[in-house]
A and B are shown apart, each in its own frame.
Chain A
């Protein structure tokens, strides 16, 4: 069974440019998460979806970040415009359904560098 797929794996852009990350969760997983991982830090939750509904987006900087999960499967995270401080790894994770005891399966992440 395929794991969580993310693309691209690496992205280099100049500041003020837009960027988008794509995530395909494990088949059948209803819950999808986007995390931000800064260098030397643990992941921090940006947004959590239950099917196509964003059930927790309190940590998403909505002035420049947006996310969608159309049809409750794939998800896209967008930054517009990107700033230097957005350089980080963006991780996507999925779990069978929204429950704390359900393991979250992580993708390999997208490493963003903003110049």
Chain B
């Protein structure tokens, strides 16, 4: 079965600084990979997804992620964070049965 590991429980970053969130997945075949963001009291919103093709994927809100098969990773990046990026971020993987398996999430705090 597929699984996802997000090694960082909590990251604090200064406003305007760059951000990188790590995600490692476990799946035997080519996975479908997703990043979601959850703001307090809100549902999850899809930031970006990877199915095939270009390994650098652009998403909403200025986020991008890079799929690295050799490292089983799908790390999320943003060049310059805004205070509104403070939220919880979830990486997820889906296998052929359409079931999403989520990581435990990374909480991002943005300091002024």
Do the two chains belong together in a single complex?
yes
Question: Which residues 15-68 in A have Cβ within 8 Å of B in the complex?
Answer: 40-45, 48, 56
Closest partner residue, chain A, to B96 (CB atom): A100
Pick from A42, A45, A93, A107: contact of B104, CB under 8 Å = A42
A56 to B96, CA, bound (A): 14
Question: Which residues 69-110 in B have Cβ within 8 Å of A in the complex?
Answer: 90, 92, 94-100, 102-105
Query: What's the minimum C-beta distance from A38 to chain B, rounded to whole angstroms?
Result: 10
| Contact between chains at B102 and A44 (CB < 8 Å) | yes
Residues of B within 8 A of A45 (CB): 99-100
Residues of A within 8 A of B56 (CB): none
- Classify the secondary structure of A's interface with B: loop
| Contact between chains at A41 and B41 (CB < 8 Å) | no
Tally A-B pairs: CB < 8 A: 53
Query: What's the minimum C-beta distance from A58 to chain B, rounded to whole angstroms?
Result: 9
Q: Is A108 an interface residue (CB 8 A)?
A: yes
Pick from B42, B49, B92, B96: contact of A42, CB under 8 Å = B92
B binding-site residues for A, Cβ under 8 Å: 4, 9, 32, 36, 41-46, 49, 51, 90, 92, 94-100, 102-105
28 sample A-B contacts, Cβ–Cβ < 8 Å, listed by A number: A4-B43, A40-B9, A40-B104, A41-B105, A42-B104, A43-B100, A43-B102, A45-B99, A45-B100, A48-B98, A56-B97, A91-B44, A93-B43, A93-B44, A98-B98, A99-B98, A100-B32, A100-B94, A100-B95, A100-B98, A101-B32, A104-B46, A104-B100, A105-B43, A106-B43, A106-B45, A107-B43, A108-B42
Additional pairs, 20, CB under 8 Å, beyond known A56-B99, A104-B46, A106-B36: A40-B104, A40-B105, A41-B105, A42-B90, A43-B44, A43-B90, A43-B102, A45-B100, A48-B98, A56-B97, A91-B43, A93-B44, A100-B96, A101-B32, A105-B43, A106-B43, A106-B45, A108-B41, A108-B43, A109-B43
